[in-house]
Structure 1
Amino acid sequence: MTTGSSDTSTSTGAGGAPGADGISTFKGEERALRADRLGTSGLLLSVLAATGPIMVVAGVMPTTFAVMGIVGQPLLFVILGVVLVLFGIGYAEMSRHVHNAGAFYAYISRGLGGTAGASASFVALAAYSALQVGIYGIFGFEVAGLLATYAEVEIAWWIPALTAVAVVGALGWLKIDVNARVLGVLLLIELALVVVFDIAAVSDPGPQGLSLAAFDPGTLTGAGVGTALCFCIAAFTGFEQAPVYAEETSRPHILVPRVMFLAVGFVAVFFALSSWAITVATGPGHVVGTAREQSAGLLFFLTESRLGGTFTDVLHVLFVTGMFAALLSFHNVVARYAFAMGREGLLPRAFGRTTGASGAPGTGSLLQTVISALVVIAFAAADDKPAGDPTAPVLHLFTWGGNVGALGVILLMATASLSVVVFFARRGAAGAQAWRLVTSTLAGLALLVIAGYTVKDFDVLVGSGPGSALSWVLPGVIAAAALAGAVLGLVLRSRAPGTHARIGLGNEAFRLDRAADES
């Protein structure tokens, strides 16, 4: 195998030493992402950016209070944190054995075989693409609103949305540490402002005082609890992305598990405290009514009275930058999935090449940029409302994309839990890994229950009403992706067994190729 083609002039020798231009790739292979680009802090910031703290506090939390009528939302975040820690125990152990930008599908391939892995790869590509594209809708609308308020400029939502598509696409071609710095600065400012609100709410509680009623298990009653779990688990989306960047770290077996547990723990505590602060600010007995009255403006309504107009204005701006950080993070993940799939024959081989001196998965980045632009243009074409209206296309793009993506990620996590059990059992390590297999099983069952509620209540999640075709068409996107991947896997197993056998192997497949070439 050569290492000096036009696509890979930045590659290194077999030992992984830098080439003439000083660029190092993971394990020194030509179709690999640049190694040693991310440490613990950079990886953690990239992962946390996808959670979009202000998006959750300003969007998910008020919706859960208002639509589901569940006062005990803080307790739900704690419960989900426990479930995802259980999931992470086996998932993190798997990350010590598998270092592949295809993360979920690579893990599933190792445990359940190449065909299951191919199916999971298409689900991951569809799910993370939907999550990213959905954010463009609400991002464009919020930016248009800011321009109308502060610059007195009226523009359609799709103009800033398409501008963001272009900017995010350009950044996707740059080296990962640039993106990490951008994500990190935006994320830290977001977190600081939410913490300021939390402190203000606790310092100036509502009419019921400093109450812990939201942590009372008795608040988790009624038909809305299952659907509330669907809303809340979407807030955690992002922590599972750490293994996607494994090839770009120097010590993936150490950094990836560390970042995963830091991310889950931080997100669970941060969101539990922030949702509790909202109940304190309004009073637990009034939070549902206030959320229904204020809707997505709940957070800004509460900050206006406690921290003033200037703080609220800054929070509005950070709401937008937080969404931009999430867009960058999801874009990076989709590009890396496409890279891994191209490298292993699940997408055209062009996707399995890194770009120029940056070593970024450029073709995958371009694919995601094109898909995002086409979807935004399609929703814009369906929009016949004047600028400034909270138009249906904007709301649909956000809610449809977000819930389709969340369903896909939940199913991927449940399948990965099963894969962990099978992987270690087949290796004869069931005894040594017994407690990890137990935690993976418990997490997988819990995630399947949540996935069941998500499908059952999809009409509520997207606001389509009972009997709507959307309640099966939108989840059908994930089903169609899974079917397409499975069919491709079966075709490869029949017609290209060598390619099928390498699904999920990543760089290890190239070592097999090299050994075959040298024999």
Structure 2
Amino acid sequence: MSTSTRTTPSTGAATTVAPRRKLGVIAVAFLIVAASAPLTVIAGGVTSTFAVTHIAGVPLSFLLLAAALAIFAIGYAAMSRFITNAGAFYSYVAQGIGRPAGVGASMLALVAYNMMQMGIYGMFGFQMSMLISEKTGLDVPWWIPVLVCIAIVGVMGVNRVDLSAKVLGVLVALEFLVVIVFDVVAFTVPTAGFSTAPLDPAMLFVPGVGAVFAFGIAAFMGFESAAIYGEESKDPRRTIPRATFLAVAVIGVFYSVSAWALSLAVGIDKIVDPAGITADEAGPPLFFGFVAEHMGTMWVDLMSVLFITSIFAALVSFHNAVARYLFSLGREGVLPAKLAAVRTTSGAPWAGSLAQTSVAALVIVAFAIGETGWNPDNGPYPVLTLFTWLTNSGALGLVLLMAVVSVAVIGYFRRDGRGVGVGSRLVAPIISALALAVVFVLILMNFDVLLGQAEPDFTTFLLPALVILPGIIGVIWGFRLRATKPNVYRQIGHGTDSGASLGSATAADDATAGRVG
């Protein structure tokens, strides 16, 4: 006898299959932390933050952001107990504010997550081409390893999600290990002596603090993705909140300590001096230069490889997030129903995964065609454009999205508290909405700093617009669906009556899944 039903997205023809829930708290936490990519954040993100902002209070910013995001997570976790949907934020906003706002949130999320992933691909291509050049002498264009990586990530995206969790778990554990070793060495032999100045608020709250928060919030991105795996978790009501709080705590403390260690490794005076860091030293070389001097070439080689695997882990995690948003939107009819197709053997959203893979490949090809090569003033093209532009833009979108979700929590519990305390359903969401709104405004005000611009130019305004406008268009599309497709409109953010879910398969995809892999 069957235990649940499954349907084709297009026809609703029912067959039967039991959903396979595989993920526990630790597995989901690894998927979350993998998106933040610990070694990438320390060697790439934190070093870039110091190099661009010249603000010594970066370590303190991580603690403050962790506190703000933990407050956000209180309301978010309370809502996750009652809504289990692969669309996560999309469904939260739809049920808490309204369906048109939910569609707008889904478009904002898709663009933001895609921007984060595309930006990280730029860093991956640069690091891989540099590693190949150093070890073999071959000059491989950055976009070739990126396209290979896209294919590998795509294959993982159509296989069992617990396989991704296991692979990412090993990579993340190794990242933590090598960064801890770096931290110990940096605290033991600080370049200019031991100092607690990076934890002093006066070292953080100076002009340009918005840029610090923008880089910092990007380091946390992925922590909010726990709810995306709700339909694949063993016990969503417990797994999602616990994994979220665990990830926020680990990320906040670990990044703060490691950023502090980095500031001591380089020297605080050098980091805050605009002339103290040359173009050749900015970014990852700050990290690897200290490793080479104090730990030896073996550690440089090891960390270089793990730096690349760290980027890879983040790419897999963001890919999974986008694929599940596409699945949810396809299942509910907001996007083409074919995107809701799920593999028979793995229960993974193969159609959404394939769509995301195709978009990634097209963007990389477009950047490769438009490549201008090496810019002596700004550094390598893929990092300058893909990584700097898109990751910061994606972070901006996700901050806005989380602020909207905080408001949605208040709306969801407004008429029925469902037994949730006033602190979780009202006080915490109000605080987090205000805090995230402030961070959003600070990022906008300092966006030219993020892009390394002496003066704002066209891109200063274009990139934020590329994030925000899809959300507005989504709201308009939601109202359009209400007028033209009332049956689809009723399902927005509420799942479907078909029973289609992740961890189960659709009848239409049985034959196709074999061809996909």
TM surpasses 0.5: yes
1:126 equivalent among 89, 111, 124: 111
Structure-1 residue corresponding to 2:319: 331
Residue 491 (structure 1) aligned to one of 480, 484, 491: 480
Give the Å deviation of 1:465: 4.2
Q: Is the 8 A contact 2:6 2:498 kept in 1?
A: no
1:502 is matched with which residue: 491, 501, 514?
A: 491
Contact 2:35–2:318 (8 Å) recurs in 1: yes
The alpha carbon displacement at 1:336 in A equals 0.3
> Which sits farther off after the overlay, 450-459 or 408-417?
450-459
CA separation in 2, counterparts of 1:228 and 1:12? 52
Cα distance in 2 for partners of 1:316, 1:480 equals 38
Q: CA deviation at 1:53?
A: 0.9
Q: 2:320 is aligned with what amino acid?
A: N
Q: What is the deviation of 1:110?
A: 0.9
Q: 8 Å contact 1:7–1:356 — kept in the other structure?
A: no
In the alignment, which of 25, 43, 46 is matched to residue 28 of structure 2? 43
Measured in 1, the distance between the counterparts of 2:386 and 2:436 equals 25
Q: 1:312 aligns with which of 300, 314, 319?
A: 300
DSSP 3-state at the match of 1:357: coil
Deviations 1:16-46 (A, max 9, x none): xxx4xxxx31xxxxxxxxx312112211111
1:87-126 residue CA offsets vs partner (Å, 9 max, x unmatched): 0000000000100000011111111010000000011111
| TM superposition shift of 1:467 | 3.4
User: SS at the partner of 1:272?
Assistant: helix
AA at the equivalent of 1:448: A
The amino acid that maps onto 1:60 is G
Cα 1:482–1:3 shift into 2, 3 Å: closer
Q: Is the 8 A contact 1:144 1:157 kept in 2?
A: yes
Amino acid at match of 1:364: G
8 Å CA contact 2:266–2:286 kept in 1: the answer is no
Write the letter of the residue equivalent to 1:232: G
Displacement after TM superposition at 1:207 (Å): 2.4
Structure 1 residue 381 corresponds to structure 2 residue 365? no
Residue 156 of structure 2: aligned partner: 171
AA paired with 1:231?
F
Aligned residue for 1:136?
A: 121
Give the superposition deviation at 1:281: 2.2
Q: CA deviation at 1:7?
A: 9.6
Percent identity of paired positions between Structure 1 and Structure 2? 40
1:448 to 415, 437, 452: 437
SS of residue paired to 2:295:
helix
Partner of 1:280: 264
**Residue 142 of structure 2 corresponds to residue 157 of structure 1:** yes
The letter of the residue matching 1:404 is: S
After TM superposition, the structure 1 stretch with the greater mean CA deviation from structure 2, 500-509 or 241-250, is 500-509
Partners of 1:95 and 1:253 within 8 A in 2: yes
What displacement does 1:442 show? 0.8
Q: How much has 1:386 moved relative to structure 2? A: 7.5
Q: Is the 8 A contact 1:278 1:287 kept in 2?
A: no
- What is residue 282 of structure 2 aligned with on the other side? 295
User: By how many angstroms is 1:63 displaced?
Assistant: 2.0
How does 1:365-514 map onto structure 2 within 5 Å?
Answer: 365-385=353-373, 390-428=379-417, 432-507=421-496, 510=499
Task: Kindly report the root-mean-square deviation, in angstroms, between the aligned alpha carbons of the 2 structures.
Answer: 2.4
Paired amino acid for 1:260: T
List gaps (5 residues or longer) in structure 2. Answer: 501-517
What corresponds to 1:361 in structure 2? 349
Deviates more, 1:154-163 or 1:497-506: 497-506
8 Å contact from structure 1 (residues 187, 322) kept in 2: yes
**Matched letter for residue 346 of structure 1:** V
Using the TM superposition, give the Cα deviation of residue 8 of structure 1 relative to its aligned residue in structure 2, in angstroms.
11
Summarize the Cα distance change of 1:394–1:180 in structure 2 as closer, same or farther, 3 Å threshold: same
Name the residue aligned to 2:509.
Answer: none
- CA drift at 1:130: 0.8
Deviations 1:338-379 (A, max 9, x none): 000001111100011212311110111011111000000000
1:239 equivalent in alignment to 2:223: yes
Report the Cα distance in structure 1 between the residues aligned to 2:323 and 2:317, rounded to whole angstroms: 10
Q: Which residue of structure 1 lines up, in the alignment, with residue 176 of structure 2? A: 191
Q: 1:386 to 1:352 in 2, by over 3 A?
A: same
CA contact (8 A) 2:75 2:424 kept: no
Q: Which residue of 1 aligns with 2:132?
A: 147
Q: Tell me how far apart the structure 2 counterparts of residues 431 and 248 of structure 1 sit (CA, whole Å).
A: 24
Give, in whole Å, the separation in 2 of the partners of 1:346 and 1:215: 47
Task: Answer yes or no: is the 8 Å Cα contact 1:53–1:191 preserved in 2.
Answer: yes
Greater RCO, 1 or 2 (C-alpha within 8 Å, sep 6+): 2
Partner of 2:44: 59
Q: Distance in 1 between matches of 2:441 and 2:199?
A: 25
Any idea what SS the aligned residue of 2:413 has?
A: helix
State which drifts further: 255-264 or 149-158: 149-158
- CA separation in 2, counterparts of 1:53 and 1:84? 17
Q: Is 1:343 matched up with 2:331?
A: yes
Deviations 1:135-183 (A, max 9, x none): 1111111101111101121111111011111111111111111111111
Q: Is the 8 A contact 1:7 1:353 kept in 2?
A: no
Residue 29 of structure 1 corresponds to none
Q: Label 1:4 to 1:454 Cα distance change in 2 as closer, same or farther (>3 A).
A: closer
Task: Please tell me the residue identity of whatever aligns with 1:194.
Answer: V
Shift of 1:3: 4.2
Report if aligned partners of 2:42, 2:255 keep a CA contact under 8 Å in 1: yes
| Structure 2 contact 126–382 (Cα < 8 Å) conserved | no
| Offset at residue 391 of structure 1 (A) | 3.3
Give me the TM-score of the superposition, normalised by structure 1. 0.90
Give, in whole Å, the separation in 2 of the partners of 1:408 and 1:506.
Answer: 24
Distance (Å, rounded) in 1 between the aligned partners of 2:353 and 2:347: 12
User: Any idea what SS the aligned residue of 1:463 has?
Assistant: coil
Contact residue 28 and residue 165 of structure 2 kept, 8 A? yes
TM-score (norm 2): 0.90
Indicate how the Cα distance of structure 1 residues 198 and 230 shifts in structure 2: closer, same or farther if over 3 A, else same: same
The structural deviation recorded for 1:430 is: 9.3
Report if the CA contact (8 A) 2:403-2:432 is conserved.
yes
Question: 5+ residue gaps in structure 1?
Answer: 14-18, 26-34, 512-519
Query: What amino acid is the match of 1:324?
Result: F
Counterpart amino acid of residue 458 in structure 2: A
Q: Distance in 1 between matches of 2:7 and 2:470?
A: 36
Match of 1:117 in 2: 102
Provide closer, same or farther for how the CA distance between residues 431 and 100 of structure 1 changes in structure 2, counting only shifts above 3 A: closer
Aligned counterparts of 2:153 and 2:254: Cα–Cα separation in 1: 27
Alignment CA distance shift 1:458-1:196 (3 Å): same
Q: CA deviation at 1:506?
A: 1.8
Query: d(CA) in 2 for partners of 1:202 and 1:6?
Result: 56
2:219 partner amino acid: A
Q: Could you tell which deviates more after superposition, 386-395 or 54-63? A: 386-395
Query: Aligned partner of 1:222: which letter?
Result: V
Cα offsets for 1:263-303 (capped at 9, x unmatched):
00000000000011112223433333497232111111111
Distance 1:323 1:427, change over 3 A: same
Contact 1:382 1:393 in 2 (8 A): no
Paired residue secondary structure (1:98): coil
Q: Is the 8 A contact 1:37 1:177 kept in 2?
A: yes
Residue 245 of structure 2 is matched in structure 1 by 261
